Each structure stands twice: as structure tokens, then as C-alpha cells.
Structure 1
Amino acid sequence: MTGPNLEFLEAGGDVERAYRLLLRLGQADADTFALRLGLPAEAAEAHGRRVVELGLAALHDGVLRPVSPGKAVERLVERRLARFQDELEAGVAHSGVVDSLLGERAAAPAADARPGQQGPPVQRLENQADIRAAIDEMTFFTRSENLTAQPDGILTPQSIVHSRPLDMRVLRRGVTMRSLLGPAAVGHPGTMAYLRELSRKGCEIRIARQPIERMIICDRAVALTPIDPRNTGKGALLTREPGLVATLVTLYERMWDAADPLPAAPGDTPSPGARPEGVERQVLETLYTADKDEAGARDLGISVRTYRKHVASLMERLSATNRFQVALLARERGWI
């Protein structure tokens, strides 16, 4: 294709041709799509699946409809950035460069110690910059589990802007992420919108009915709590003391067990026979094209853990015993 194209966003060739055709047509059923592409029905169907998987079009009742060009390019950029970041983080982990740098910092005089450094079992962090630095470092090194509790419940736009890249980085790595918030969250639209965004990416979220304590715990090895729970402006305590961290984990689990699941948005709770939408629909489509869960998750820009959670949900809804049966039963129901 001559002129500006989507090749640099890894969506050129047949995918771009199919998307441009949909933009010209506005929408197309399977027969029209195959006819206008000049392809056999099976090949055209594969093109349609790929366009949907990349977020360039939506399929409803057998009709393909393109998303707006701005949104399409935005999704392609996000997918490529996510893949590039995953590759960089994997390279960092493999290289051991962070451990090497930490070794340099560990040799510094104690007076120059920074937040998060392996050193005293408990550190006092008395200014916001140090607290943010500690959170950034804790989440960067998280590999298995991230637990947070936010008693206020309300997330400000500024805190969401700061938290989003950290949260998404953790979720992309397949880390188990649980977030517990105070009841005020339910009445705050901005907070609920972000919580549902996190939930779609695989974060488990609950809303507390009773008072909870503020904390962040990573890998059950390091925890951050306020110096004074009634006045968070006094700073925070960073602890790696195993006994203290274990006690905080026990407290977190008790608070979690006493909390309620995140309320579904109006119309979000599907009945067993309802047609899948959103990410679940995209996961269903990838079952036809991706040989492995890792490939399907990578194509959708979500973690393998989140991908498998959606597959398990589809299997339950369809009473299927394996992934192949999910695809067959979904086609019989007209879901794809």
C-alpha cells in the first residue's frame, strides 16, 4: 500500500485493507465483507476476526462495524507500547542491572539511605516525595502479589494519573492484584470508573463495609503503612520485618473477607445466555486464532492470568470442558 499506512503499528497489509474497506462501507455482514475483499468466506472471516482482535472493529449480530480512525490508531499505539514495555522489563529482569545498581547504593553511608533500600527493618518516610519513591520501587519489584487498602475510598484525578501506569505495569506482568476501598468509593463516579477499568484488566476489587486500615503490601515481603492513621500527612512507615509484614497480611485478609465485591455497572452483569461483550468477546475471538494463552493475552494486551480468567468464565457459561468446545458452542449460539 502506497502513502500513509499502518505498517509501523504492526497492522498493515491485509488487516489495514480490511479496516479501510469497513471505513468505506460503514458496516458489512459476512457475505458483503467477503465479496468486497474478493476472498473466500473462510479467509474473509479470518480477516474480520483479526480486525476485531486488534480493536479496529466491533462485531454485533454478524455485522462488522469499524471504530473511529482516531480510536483505532490509539488502540494500536497502546498495544505496541505495552509489548515494548514488556520486552524492556523482561530485559531488565534478565540483565540483573537493577541488582547491580542496588549494590552500588547499598555501599553508600547510612545517612544517605533512600526509601526502599534494603537496610533497616523499618524506615520512617516523612515527606511525600520519599513515599512516592518507595511506592514506585515496591511496585517495580513486585512479582507475585500486590495488596492495597484505601480507607477513604475516593481516588482523586491526580492520584489516578499517578497510579495508572504503576497499576497497569503490575497487571501486565500477571501479578495478583487486590484492592480494598472504603464505602465512599461507590458514590464517586471517577473512582468507580477507574476501579472498573482495573477490574477489566484483572484486578480483584472489594468495597469495605467496616472501617479498614491504609496499607500497601508487596509479595508479602514489604509493607507501607501510615505513621499516624488519623493524620497521613505525618508520613509513612516502610517495613520489611517479616513478623510485622505477616501480621499486616493477616489483617488485610480479615478486612478482605469482610468486604463486598465491586458492584457491577448498570447492565454489566450478563445472564448465562447473554452474548459476551468487551474483553470477553475479544478473548472468545482469539480462541480461534491463538494456539496458546500467552499468545492470546499478548494479542489483547492483557496479562495471561486475566486472559485465563475470562476463558474460565466462558467455559462456565457454556458448560464447556475445554477451549475447543468453547469455540464450537459459542458458534452454535451465534456469539461469533
Structure 2
Amino acid sequence: MFDLLGLSAQHEMVYRAMLQRSDLNVAGLAEYLAVSPDQVREALDLLADLALIRLDPHGDHARVVRPQAGLMALLAKVETEVAVRQRQVEATRAAIAAIATAHDDHNQVGESRILEGIDTVRERLAELAHTARTECLSFTTGRGQSPDTIEAEGPLNQLALQRDVRIRNVYQDSFRNDPATLAHARWMASLGAQSRTTPTLPMRLVIVDRETALVPIDPDNPRRGALELHSPGVVAGLVALFEQVWRIATPFGEQIALDEHGLTPQERELLRLLAAGHTDESAARKLAISLRGVQRLMTSLTERLGAASRFQAGVHAGYRGWV
């Protein structure tokens, strides 16, 4: 209980025994507590150093200082040390803020900031996780999250959720086939986060407190880094985009619903992409699935349409209102 004052459990035990049995000497305390005399002497030396007892220079007895005086004096000393430490922490915080501001100004371009490289982006996300107040919205593209990304994001998300920051994330449907991402999403849900999926996403995106947005410098290569945006108009537009996608996305844990034609959202999106002129390779990148996955989906759709070729499948799909 008194470790804050510098007393271990054993020191406290000896101190309490002395309060109860002021008549006992070192040998008596050792017998009373079932410890060795050396342990009692070590405790007495420390208690004397802390001015909680006064040793008898001519014997092996000690007198206990009134607890209200001795313990309260120790506590006052600790409180003074804590106050000094807090002032040091605040001064350090101010210095860090000044350095961070100078660094940010160096990389600032108007109301945006350039974050070069994936490591810089991750460092900035860590900062935002500590400062987020109300909400974090995000789009996560690709087939699944890498183990190092999950390991890096997990503690940060947990920290934000413990501060009642609302987290909503939209993945691509392809993530439903990745066991590690599914496990991560379930763990996040157990902490209060919400996740949904949709066939395609326009880009990676993070929005914090509807004030700060991170978008990739190159949507096709997120490892190049990100742009940090603060313009209220731009951020509001990205929030509106997120909310539009969120409304039509399917919550994790729910079966993906089929439309009136029996199509999954991924199948319908594939037909739309191919009708718009995308190749199988391009459609695979958009859907974050393999080329073989696209070909399997297309074979299934062609058979269901009763078509003899992909061209004929496109005609039939248009005729039936599938695209």
C-alpha cells in the first residue's frame, strides 16, 4: 500500500507490527513476524532513514514516530516531487510541440502536409491515435492487412477506443477471405469498433475528428506516402464520400445480400467494370482479388446468363438489367 512512499510490503509489515507492539525488540519482532532478525534490522534502517522511527543508539529498541507526522511528511515530500515531475513533463510536452510544429511547417504546402513514405504515415497515424477526440473514419483497400500492419494498428486502435473515440472502417469484400483480417475485425468489434465491406473503394483514406484527412500521394502505390489535409471544404467532401459508401456497405458478421437478380455486390461491380472497358487484370486490381478469381466469377456469370461467350454474356446482362 505504501510503495509510493518507498516502503516495500515487508517494510510496511515491520512498521505496522511496531505500531501494535511497541514493547518488542529486534528479536521479538522477528519472532512475532516469523522472519529473520537481519530482515527486521534492514527494515528498521530504512524506516529510520524515512524518519518513521527513531532508533535507540544504546540498545536494540526503536520508537515509532506518530503516523500522522511521519507518514504525512513522507507523502508531502512525494507530492512535491510529483509536482516538480509534472512541471518537467509539461515543459517537455511544450518542447515536443514546438519541434513538431517546426517540422510540420517545413513540410506544409498550403492547407496540406506531405508525409513521405509508409513509415512517416504510420508515425503520423500513431500521433493521431493519441490525440483523436471523437471519431476516426477509414477506407482500407487491398486483399487483406499484413501482419505487421495489424500488429502496429491494434494497440493504437485499442487506445483510441478506450477513450471513447468512435471507429468506423470500410474494407473491401475481398477481406472476408483473409483469416487474419477477419480475426482483427472481430477483435476490434469486441472493443466497440464497427467495420463494413464493399466490392471496391476509391482509395485508402483516414479521417480524424472530421478535421484531418490522410489520402495517398499515389492511390496505386500507398507506400509512397500520404497527403495530410486540413481544408474544411476538402475534409467535409471526404466525410460525405465516406458516409455514402458506409450506407451501402455490408456490416462484418452479416451475410452479403443478393440483389433482385441474385447477384452479389462483387459480381455486379465486376460486370460494371467490364462494361466500362476494364480488362480482367484491371478489374482484379479494383476488386482486390486475383486474376483467377475474376475469371472464376466471369465463368459463373456466363453460365447463369446462358451465354456462349463473354461478349454474349455482356449483351444478355444488359438486356436483363444486370448492368
What TM-score does the superposition give when structure 2 sets the normalisation length? 0.48
Task: Give the structure, 1 or 2, with the largest relative contact order (CA under 8 Å, sep 6 or more).
Answer: 1
Whose Rg is larger?
A: 2
